[in-house]
Amino acid sequence: MIVEISIVPIGVGESLSSYVAEALKVIKEWCKSYKLTPMGTIFKV
């Protein structure tokens, strides 16, 4: 199965890099194959 996720924090300001970095840490634990794109992250489950 291929999954794509996007992070949309509301009310936290303009910088989202810390949220993306934390989500990417979790994804790296689940799978080795992923692709970070400008609009989301794609990975295989």
**Percent of the chain scored above 70 by pLDDT?**
100
Total structural domains within the chain: 1
Answer with the residue of higher pLDDT: 26 or 8: 26
CA distance 28 to 20: 12
**pLDDT band at 17; cut points 50, 70, 90:** confident
Burial (CB < 10 A; 0-12, 13-18, 19+), residue 34, is middle
Place of tokens 């609009």: 39
Q: Provide the domain limits for residue 14.
A: 2-44
Asked if residue 9 has pLDDT above 80, the reply is no
Answer with the residue of higher pLDDT: 19 or 33: 33
